[in-house]
Amino acid sequence: MKYMLIMRATDEGLAAMQNADLDAMLETVGKFNDEMIRAGVLLAAEGLDDASEGVVVDYSSEPPVVTDGPYGETKELFGGFYILNVASKEEAIEWAKRSPMRGPGFKTEIRRVTTIDEFPQDNEWVKKERAWREATGQL
C-alpha cells in the first residue's frame, strides 16, 4: 500500500528552522531518507518552496479568485511530502515517528494513496486514465 507522509509546520516551527544549520539539517534528513531507501519503502520525496512564492485558487466564487502568497492567516503549512510503499498504516506511522523534522510546531499527516483499481473499471474516464498509466509505465 502507498501512504503519503505530509510534512506540516506552524509559522513558529518554520521560524525556528530558519536558524538551523543547513548542512546539519541536510545530513539528518539525508540519513532518514537513506534508511527508507535501504528499507525499500521510499517511492518519492519532495520539499516545497516558501509559501510566499505560492498562490491559492479559491473556488468559492465564479470566476475563482487567485491570491498570491504569503497566505492569509494560517495555522499550519504543508512543506513537503514522502510517498512510501509499506505493508500497513501502522508501518507508515512507524516511519513517520522516526522523522527528523520534529519539535514544537511540526506534524506529519499520514494519508493512504488510493489506486486506480478502487474505482469503477467500466467508467470511460477510468479506462482512459488506466490506458495513460499503462502507456507511461505507471502500471
pLDDT in tens, 52-69: 888 888 899 999 998 887
Q: Assess if residue 16 is contained within a domain.
A: yes
Q: Assess if residue 69 is contained within a domain.
A: no
How many domains is the chain built from?
1
Q: What is the CATH number of the domain that holds 8?
A: 3.30.70.1060
Segment 34-47 shows an average pLDDT of 95
Q: Which residue from 54, 50, 51, 43 is spatially nearest to 81, judged by alpha carbons?
A: 43
Q: Assess if residue 116 is contained within a domain.
A: yes
Say which residues have a Cβ less than 8 Å from residue 59's Cβ, sequence separation at least 6.
Answer: none
131 sits in which H/E element: helix 124-135
Confidence of residue 90 (pLDDT cuts 50, 70, 90): very high
Q: Assess if residue 34 is contained within a domain.
A: yes
CB 130 within 8 A of CB 116: yes
Q: Is the pTM of this model over 0.85?
A: no
What's the confidence (pLDDT) of residue 13?
86
Q: Assess if residue 56 is contained within a domain.
A: no
What's the confidence (pLDDT) of residue 70?
65
Cα angle 95, 96, 102 (rounded to 5 degrees) comes to 130
Q: Assess if residue 42 is contained within a domain.
A: yes
Residue with cell 504543508: 78
Range(s) of the domain holding residue 90: 2-51+77-135
